[in-house]
Structure 1
């Protein structure tokens, strides 16, 4: 006898395994901007012009026309060429500089967040000036690199985090005009050593998204970088540095993208020139602010494992001009705003500077407004 077909109740229906749909986590994108300016080098006429009596100084008037640009980026750096050892050590100019504390106040008020202290004048007034300067930068809550007050500090990579992007900062100088730190206190200033540079960049990459290197190298007053500057820039790129801000020639040298051995791109400005000084020849009165945009994108695979991509793009520059007369009335002006009355053939000079800076880089634009 045939078996009757079995009727399954709803509860008895065969179960079919249902797989949950894979939900990919959405990518996350963060952006931040970083800027840098060149040398803050206070010759005696500059700090005398800032004197307000009673051994006190006010430099803010010199920055009025450029402060809006300095404060636009999330992080802005400066090269503190003349050390702020303070009034108690005695102010001095070339060849061994010592500057008033108040230049630090003006930089802070103008929007500076980080200063590089590694340069050929770091040891001009010895250990005491370095300790005074680092103490004052700490008081202002301005991060400094390239010089240290202790060996522990010298071994620490300094970082700042903005919009979920962590920047690390390094600074080195080719030398200190023949002056040497006290025996056992070599940590006071960072000297450029290729192996140390590579090691520090790798250390910085472990704790940050962006590695910013400050280099004090090159030949003074030469408008083109030399083979050694190229060599060091390539070493930094191969080690994985993202940005190199360089100083020392006191004149502007061109910007350039370098490709590292791993295919990474490194932005290098070989010299940002003088931002504030009393040097009185045309190209020594012209400096610049450079601005870069950083993008950090985090994507996730099917297992939720993150992968991070860093991009540096949209390089911009603001050439500047230090205007003064009879060693007084110092002002830093955006070069695009300078008139023929202030600088004969101003527009022609501005056009030449733009061409000079951008000759090896196709994506460089120039800032010609305050917003």
Structure 2
């Protein structure tokens, strides 16, 4: 007996076909909105050099740096969302520098202008690098974000600001965004300034959700800087925390980063958890292939009689990295020439005269990312699918 026939009868067969999922009842006149969220924004020195090269060509940017061409590839996706959330992992310096890479990052504030220009509305700022250059840099970073109109959550300039909740009006829905991270072992925050950024704690996250709800939040989104770097499978602490949060809170969506590689997206206890979205933009000193691959998570919220139904989509990205060469050395024909963040699906749908080697790299990114995303069962009844821009 087929599944369709079984569903049409009252006959129950042990070990037979699973019942089709019950669709939530859409609320009459119910509201809806979309959320795009991506992984780490990590501006390594090579990307600063790229920004300088692009500024010379474009004549745009500030203080000789233009990150617009670097990020232009994701603008059609990010700008389409009703709410777009990034993760700004590091503090920023002054526009003229000096700048620093790993292990104590200090990056150009010009990247914030670009993030706003491509469509991001707000960013999580709690990470293991938040306090790399102390409270002064935390304050400078948040001041710079305010200047360009980017919202922020996860770090604070004062103890009073640390208690505030980032709540935004998204198509008539009050959406709160929370951000928490594990502590840096390299630069631990002094006890007297422990309020400067949010450390992961189930109880503190619960309290923050309560504050958000009391202030009128109808939807709460949580960003978590967690997990083990370069592991595509969530760690045991990630899994345990995800289980607690999805059981013990009313948080509507969990967005993860820090691993710098793509991890699964899973519907757990009725709540979507994106364990790790990889890098949105980065150029590690030793690229692994996996560190260049990332995901834009796309979440469609629909109001129902029982709350919010959330559908999950994804869009794969790839940071193109030119081959290393000596000054004046020419790259082989068809090689990557510039650092660029590419929308993988867009490239595969219209490859133009892309070389077979380059095309194979995009195919690998698409197929490998899909495998990692689906590694905890999301494509089954949970319905995780690739985002089409024509939807």
Q: Provide the TM-score with structure 1 as the length reference.
A: 0.84
1:179 counterpart = 2:187: yes
Larger radius of gyration: 1
Q: Pairwise CA RMSD of aligned residues?
A: 2.0
Q: Do the aligned residues in 1 keep the contact of 2:138 with 2:157 (CA within 8 Å)?
A: yes
Deviates more, 1:336-345 or 1:288-297: 336-345
The residue number in structure 2 matching 1:325 is: 322
Among 57, 69, 81, the alignment partner of 2:77 is: 69
Q: Distance in 2 between matches of 1:104 and 1:219?
A: 26
The residue number in structure 2 matching 1:17 is: none
TM-aligned CA deviation for residue 274 of structure 1 = 0.7
Query: Whose helix proportion is higher, 1 or 2?
Result: 2
Q: Distance in 2 between matches of 1:222 and 1:44?
A: 24
C-alpha spacing 1:325/1:89, structure 2 compared with 1 (3 Å): closer
Structure 2: any 5+ residue segments left out of the alignment?
1-26, 57-61, 325-336, 349-353
Q: Distance in 1 between matches of 2:244 and 2:168?
A: 24
Q: Do the aligned residues in 2 keep the contact of 1:69 with 1:370 (CA within 8 Å)?
A: no
Q: Do the aligned residues in 1 keep the contact of 2:35 with 2:83 (CA within 8 Å)?
A: yes
TM-aligned CA deviation for residue 198 of structure 1 = 1.7
Among 352, 362, 372, the alignment partner of 1:346 is: 362
C-alpha spacing 1:343/1:296, structure 2 compared with 1 (3 Å): same
The residue number in structure 2 matching 1:358 is: 374
Structure 1: any 5+ residue segments left out of the alignment?
1-25, 260-264, 298-307
SS at match of 1:346: helix
Q: Provide the TM-score with structure 2 as the length reference.
A: 0.80
Q: Distance in 1 between matches of 2:125 and 2:369?
A: 27
Among 293, 300, 308, the alignment partner of 2:300 is: 293
The residue number in structure 2 matching 1:250 is: 260
Q: Do the aligned residues in 2 keep the contact of 1:29 with 1:295 (CA within 8 Å)?
A: yes
Q: Distance in 1 between matches of 2:99 and 2:73?
A: 26
TM-aligned CA deviation for residue 354 of structure 1 = 1.2
- Deviations 1:152-207, CA, capped at 9 Å, x for gaps: 11001110011221110111111123313344222111111221112212222332
TM-aligned CA deviation for residue 314 of structure 1 = 2.2
Q: Distance in 1 between matches of 2:172 and 2:367?
A: 38
The residue number in structure 2 matching 1:139 is: 147
TM-aligned CA deviation for residue 368 of structure 1 = 4.3
Among 230, 236, 244, the alignment partner of 2:245 is: 236
SS at match of 2:114: helix
TM-aligned CA deviation for residue 86 of structure 1 = 2.7
Among 306, 310, 315, the alignment partner of 1:313 is: 310
Aligned length: 331
- Deviations 1:265-310, CA, capped at 9 Å, x for gaps: 211000010111112211110001011111224xxxxxxxxxx632
The residue number in structure 1 matching 2:119 is: 111
Among 186, 200, 213, the alignment partner of 2:208 is: 200
Q: Do the aligned residues in 2 keep the contact of 1:209 with 1:310 (CA within 8 Å)?
A: no
- Deviations 1:111-168, CA, capped at 9 Å, x for gaps: 0001111111111111111111100111122110110011111001110011221110
C-alpha spacing 1:242/1:88, structure 2 compared with 1 (3 Å): same
SS at match of 2:91: coil
TM-aligned CA deviation for residue 82 of structure 1 = 2.2
Deviates more, 1:62-71 or 1:344-353: 344-353
The residue number in structure 2 matching 1:303 is: none
